[in-house]
A and B are shown apart, each in its own frame.
Chain A
Amino acid sequence: MAYVLQQLINGLTLGMIYGLIAVGYTMVYGIIGMINFAHGDVFMVGAFLSLIALTLLSGLGVTSVPLALALTLVFAAGIAALYGWTVERVAYRPLRGSFRLAPLISAIGMSIVLQNFVQVSQGARVKPMPELLPGGIPLMNSDGFAVQLSWMQIVIVIVTLALLAAFTYLVTKTPLGRAMRACEQDQKMAGLLGIDTDRTISITFVIGAALAAVAGLMFLLYYGVIDFYIGFIAGVKAFTAAVLGGIGSLPGAVLGGLAIGLIETFWSAYFSVQYKDVAAFSILVLVLIFMPTGLLGRADVEKV
């Protein structure tokens, strides 16, 4: 029982991270109908930026952990947003209206570029990071197994929920959110009604990249090690989460993220750690085959 509870806590924390990345996938898919293949790598860049910022801050003598985390969050999200904007500007915008596979191939190219850029500039070695917030709240103790809710997990859950709340407000209540939803429904019509669609799409990428960078910071804090390859696997898993939740749906992305996090954690705990990626990938395949609209998605009407 205690073991199950601990796995549940771990799974939900991991799910929050996947959910944050999945939001970026689902937004971009909703608005321009393409899979932003480089999104996972923006997440990886965000994790590296966080590492750089934390190291820099500790070098400058900032010892207060909350302050360091807040500064890192702002820094990583800001620079990663710049990455998101650049990726869209360089690799996707010129291809709008091109043939169907062009943006996808360009996105794969961008993903390779980002991965290898980080490998070249930061080195291929795995980067460890000392634990920033050790300890936690012991919840219960049964049969010699202590269930612990670590401070790190609390921070991750709170920051994620706060960001998602802010983001939901942005999409549902502000003029910018209205513009985004309008572009999602009909880009041409939105353009005719005076919405700057290019700008709206850019902002979508910027927000998605910032959220992914926050997820990168969480990942760094949670696992304590990163390398230039984490974006690929995490990206596919987050994409699975977006598809599972119903692509285009924001609550769906979070729900899917939580589901993937739980499945992965319980699979590792009860079956095998080696095959945990296989579990996530198999879910992607199964969902796409049997339930292409996902949990909360709308059925896609194909227009000719």
Chain B
Amino acid sequence: MLRDAALSALVAFGLFGPMIGLKTEVGVAAIELIYRPIAVLIAVAAVFFGRLALLAWKSTRPVAKAAPGRIAGGMAYVGRYLTPIVLVLTITMPFYAERYWIDLGILVLTYVMLGWGLNIVVGLAGLLDLGYVAFYAVGAYSYALIAQNFGLGFWTCLPLAGILAAFWGVLLGFPVLRLRGDYLAIVTLAFGEIIRVVILNWASLTGGPNGMSGIPRPTLFGLVFNSGGGEGSFADFFGLEPSISHRVIFLFYVILGLALLTNWVSLRLRRLPLGRAWEALREDEIACRALGIDVTVTKLTAFAIGAAFAGFAGAFFATRQAFISPESFTFIESAIVLAIVVLGGLGSQLGVALAAIVMIGGGEMFRDFQEYRMLIFGGALVVVMVVRPRGFLSGRTPSVSLGTKRKIGADLMTEGHG
């Protein structure tokens, strides 16, 4: 055991020695090296003791695994009570929380919505989409462009943004959905990058790297939110003191509504034949084809519906920020949303919400460790895949069953090829 740990430490020294120990710094004349032996020592020691602890824990753990049904059953039990609590806490949040927390809530809810949208594609239909942020960008830029060029309001543009994003989803998806899972992932990644590069370079339309600003804010049945009050404003109509926080609270409820809509739609879709076809497709594509399911159309609808929700979220993002630039739509955003879906357990609605709260909310908490945030995100992806490939709240209830509904634990599930 000690030998194993020492070996790990040796490997760690090989890995970390040059990279951490010798930092290249751009000096006055040439590149200079900064020596940091202490940092290497700390990193190597951390690996040594970490490995030792892991081995010790493994040797003391009982060999017999917990019954697969128990964890899943327990989760369902927790989920039944946790869902209403989380929901109530969220709805009443503007009444007890401060401005900062509501802003954070809006951010988290945006990611919850994106996560639920991507969940349709990845969790239900089993298509790994690495370019999801492209549709988010399409939604955001559609709203910004339509609003600025045609003077339409948020509520008119919202469905348009969704439809446009779905249209792009179909357009991009149609040729590539015949591909195998991992090829599909790479192609969607390429599409995401293509859209970002085009937005970045088509400066006459999108403003290029400078982005677009002055995007109109949403209104409530024609009542505007502004800090000055005045005729036709929300504060004036209801006879309230004009305050900027009205708009924040309004935005909070808008995104909450949109997110819940996403959730409701995907829950209802699961009960349609279409949703069942998605789940069947995820489990075994060849069996699906043998049973006469039109694989391409089924995949395409999942892709398009997922894209539409990304488009809605994008339009909301644009109206909340009042400013968008290509920087907000990099691959890292796709990776974060994917991480949320994966950590949430690929298909579990509550799991996605909790993962978004932990990852986005937690990430904001540790703003000071900004540099290490993505490091931890990436590490979490690997660890979750290794420890619990189906995510933390894994386990599925079959949509249809004979007699009682039995929860299927993650350990019992296998995957077909496709």
Contacts and interface: CB of A to CB of B under 8 A. Distances in A.
Given A95-B386, A106-B385, A113-B378, A292 B179 contact: yes
Nearest to B190: A281
B375 interface: yes
B23 interface: yes
Given A121-B20, A236-B193, A285 B385 contact: no
B415 A99 contact: yes
A230 to B, nearest CB: 14
Contact of A112 (B18, B176, B381, B390): B381
B379 A122 contact: no
Interface string B369-393: 0011011011111100110011000
A232 to B, nearest CB: 7
A86 B19 contact: no
Nearest to A277: B197
A272 B374 CA distance: 33
Interface stretch (A8-16, A44-52, A176-184, A191-199): A44-52
B19 A121 contact: yes
Interface string B10-27: 010011101110111110
Interface string B129-146: 010000000000000000
Interface string A47-85: 011011101101100000000000000010001001100
Interface residue tally of chain B, by bracket? 35 or more
Interface string B307-336: 000000000000000000000000110010
B194 A112 contact: no
B24 A105 contact: no
Contacts of A302: 286, 417
Given A95-B386, A100-B418, A120-B375, A56 B22 contact: yes
Given A99-B414, A104-B185, A116 B378 contact: yes
Q: Which of A112, A123, A130 has the most CB of B within 10 A?
A: A112
Contact of B24 (A119, A122, A272, A278): A122
Instruction: Report which residue of A91, A120, A277, A281 has the largest number of chain B beta carbons within 10 angstroms of its beta carbon.
Output: A281
A113 B418 contact: no
A279 to B, nearest CB: 10
B181 interface: yes
A102 B418 CA distance: 14
Interface bin, chain A: 35 or more
A117 B26 contact: no
A171 interface: no
B371 A120 contact: yes
A94 B378 contact: no
A100 B415 contact: yes
B23 A105 contact: no
Interface string A237-248: 001000100000
Contact of A129 (B31, B187, B189, B414): B31
A108 B418 contact: no
Contact of A119 (B122, B335, B371): B371
A223 interface: no
B19 A284 contact: no
A250 B342 CA distance: 34
A103 B143 CA distance: 37
Interface centre among A59, A109, A128 (most CB of B within 10 A): A109
A49 B33 CA distance: 12
A277 B183 CA distance: 18
B190 A106 contact: no
A94 B386 contact: yes
A43 B256 CA distance: 43
A172 interface: no
Contact of A82 (B15, B175, B179): B15
A284 B186 contact: yes
B345 to A, nearest CB: 12
Nearest to B179: A288
Contacts of B418: 100
A284 B184 CA distance: 11
Contacts of B216: none
A108 B130 contact: yes
A188 interface: no
Contacts of B389: 95, 98-99, 102
B15 A281 contact: no
Given A101-B181, A274-B197, A288-B179, A109 B11 contact: no
A152 interface: no
B33 A59 contact: yes
Contacts of B15: 79, 82-83, 86
B296 to A, nearest CB: 13
A296 interface: no
Contacts of B25: 123
Contacts of A86: 11, 15
A274 B386 CA distance: 39
B198 interface: yes
Contact of A278 (B26, B189, B194, B377): B194
Given A52-B24, A99-B389, A104-B128, A112 B186 contact: no
19 contacts: A83-B15, A95-B385, A109-B380, A112-B378, A113-B375, A116-B375, A120-B375, A121-B23, A122-B23, A123-B25, A125-B26, A128-B26, A232-B331, A236-B190, A274-B201, A278-B193, A281-B194, A284-B186, A292-B183
Given A109-B379, A116-B371, 9 more contacts: A52-B19, A100-B181, A102-B385, A110-B382, A114-B378, A120-B372, A127-B24, A275-B198, A292-B179
